């Protein structure tokens, strides 16, 4: 929890805003972010999904202070204690209901991944239900992964840090991006009941070999044949490499939204219509690689093309090397930095280490007082991999110490 006299760490632009807010909450350091879309003529300042994330952080913490300038281009955030779904701190009956507004253009994973990083360090279990016209459970063109990939490719990684009990992500109502690429009216519940004092130190230097591939093909408000066509085209590529390939099919009706349009009978209109595919490959050492594709809101792409595209993306993710893919690398590296004061090591592909997002994460961690990362060539004979060494800071769970 930050103190009033503590000077904030200064950042500029909206890049990596969610990551910086998460690191500030975990370390208790206040931050000030300026120049948030100052030159935009139509969308100056904080976007709807960023404001919604701030509201979520305020709900799962106690004592947080958020100050936004009149134009929305400057933000000061002083984090409080992470309380989770503790009674009397925003939760009703042990559940926090967070409503996402219709203007949100990001998938629900934009909120889930930071929330999962905060949950192990919460004073009480985390139980959050995301509702509202802006909840999108599918992947998006902005680079967000689907809720299925969070459940199958992100949450299982927490077990490597000794965090594995009472963790569940439930997709109560599916949705894709609505018209104009905004909103979806889905519903998702995250239950994270395993809180720890410190995560275990990670040593993962053997990616292993791919032993099986699983996936979920989903469609909302469209014929079920779209799932079958995506599955057939994806397996046409994957079966020649991995025999143990199984893709589930999930079919659901489109959610309804209230509408005042004359063309909408009964004052309701369908939204979140579309289809998509999520694939996850698991190696013999428990490493996970994922890929996501989804139909655009305007349509026009046949299911066969999406199935082939997803299968090729999965193979590209595996070909990058290392024991962790790009979508999961920020989560793993952050947990390694928060673990006990020991040196953790992980094998990562050179393409992932040189990615702009990972470089920015390393710089931000340095600004928050974490130690620098060490790099060396992998000794396993792979020219595309490096070993990243991180000394844990031993931040710990302040809430559990107090209770």
pLDDT digits (tens, 9 = 90+) for 41-67: 888 999 999 999 999 999 999 999 999
Q: How confident is the model at residue 264 (pLDDT cuts 50, 70, 90)?
A: low
Instruction: Check whether 91 has a pLDDT greater than 80.
Output: no
> Confidence band (pLDDT; 50, 70, 90) for 300?
confident
Can you count the helices (H) and strands (E) in the chain?
10, 20
Which helix (H) or strand (E) element contains residue 284? none
pLDDT for position 299: 80
- Mean pLDDT, the chain, rounded, equals 90
Q: Which residue has the higher pLDDT, 246 or 256?
A: 246
pLDDT of residue 19 exceeding 80: yes
C-alpha distances (whole Å) from 77 to each of 4, 25, 63, 89, 165 are: 11, 9, 11, 18, 31
Percent of the chain with pLDDT over 90: 75
Instruction: Determine which helix (DSSP H) or strand (DSSP E) holds 59, and give its type and residue range.
Output: helix 48-60
Is the confidence at residue 280, as pLDDT, over 80? yes
CA–CA–CA angle 131, 133, 135 (5° rounding): 55
Is residue 31 a contact partner of residue 11, using CB atoms and an 8 Å limit? Answer: yes
Whole-prediction pTM:
0.93
User: Is the pLDDT at 263 greater than 60, yes or no?
Assistant: no
The yes-or-no verdict on residue 403 having pLDDT over 60 is no
Confidence class for position 341, pLDDT limits 50, 70, 90: confident
* Predicted local distance difference test score (pLDDT) of residue 271: 85
Residue 353 is predicted with a pLDDT of 94
Environment class of 403 (CB within 10 Å of its CB; exposed 0-12, middle 13-18, buried 19+): exposed
In whole angstroms, give the CA distance from residue 379 to residue 387.
9
Contacts of 295 (CB under 8 A, 6+ apart): 176, 274, 275, 276, 301, 303, 306
Q: How confident is the model at residue 391 (pLDDT cuts 50, 70, 90)?
A: very high
More confident call, 239 vs 272: 239
H-helix segments, 328-377: 329-338, 350-353, 356-367
């Amino acid at each position: 929890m930050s103190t009033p006299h503590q000077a904030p760490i200064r950042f500029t632009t909206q890049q990596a805003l969610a990551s910086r807010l998460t690191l500030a909450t975990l370390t208790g350091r206040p931050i000030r972010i300026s120049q948030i879309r100052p030159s935009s003529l139509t969308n100056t300042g904080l976007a709807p999904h960023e404001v919604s994330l701030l509201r979520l952080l305020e709900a799962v913490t106690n004592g947080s202070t958020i100050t936004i300038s009149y134009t929305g281009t400057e933000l000061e955030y002083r984090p409080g204690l992470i309380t989770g779904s503790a009674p009397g701190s925003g939760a009703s009956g042990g559940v926090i209901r967070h409503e996402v507004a219709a203007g949100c253009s990001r998938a629900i994973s934009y909120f889930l991944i930071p929330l999962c990083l905060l949950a192990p360090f919460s004073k009480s279990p985390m139980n959050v239900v995301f509702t509202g016209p802006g909840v999108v459970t599918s992947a998006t063109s902005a680079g967000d992964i689907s809720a299925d990939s969070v459940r199958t490719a992100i949450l299982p990684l927490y077990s490597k840090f000794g965090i594995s009990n009472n963790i569940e992500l439930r997709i109560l109502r599916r949705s894709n991006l609505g018209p104009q690429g905004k909103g979806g009216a889905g519903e998702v519940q995250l239950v994270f009941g395993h809180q720890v004092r410190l995560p275990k130190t990670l040593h993962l230097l053997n990616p292993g070999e791919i032993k099986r591939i699983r996936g979920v093909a989903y469609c909302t408000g469209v014929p079920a044949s779209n799932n079958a066509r995506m599955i057939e085209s994806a397996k046409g590529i994957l079966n020649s490499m991995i025999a143990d390939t199984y893709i589930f099919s999930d079919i659901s009706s489109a959610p309804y939204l209230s509408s005042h349009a004359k063309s909408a009978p009964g004052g309701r209109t369908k939204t979140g219509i579309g289809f998509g595919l999520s694939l996850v490959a698991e190696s013999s050492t428990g490493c996970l690689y994922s890929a996501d594709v989804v139909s655009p809101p305007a349509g026009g792409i046949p299911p066969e093309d999406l199935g082939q595209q997803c299968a090729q993306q999965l193979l590209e993710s595996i070909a990058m090397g290392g024991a962790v893919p790009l979508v999961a690398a920020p989560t793993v590296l952050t947990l390694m930095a928060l673990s006990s004061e020991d040196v953790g090591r992980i094998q990562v592909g050179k393409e992932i280490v040189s990615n702009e997002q990972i470089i920015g994460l390393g710089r931000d961690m340095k600004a928050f007082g974490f130690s620098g990362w060490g790099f060396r060539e992998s000794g396993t004979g792979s020219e595309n991999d490096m070993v990243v060494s991180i000394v844990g800071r031993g931040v710990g769970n302040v809430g559990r110490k107090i209770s």
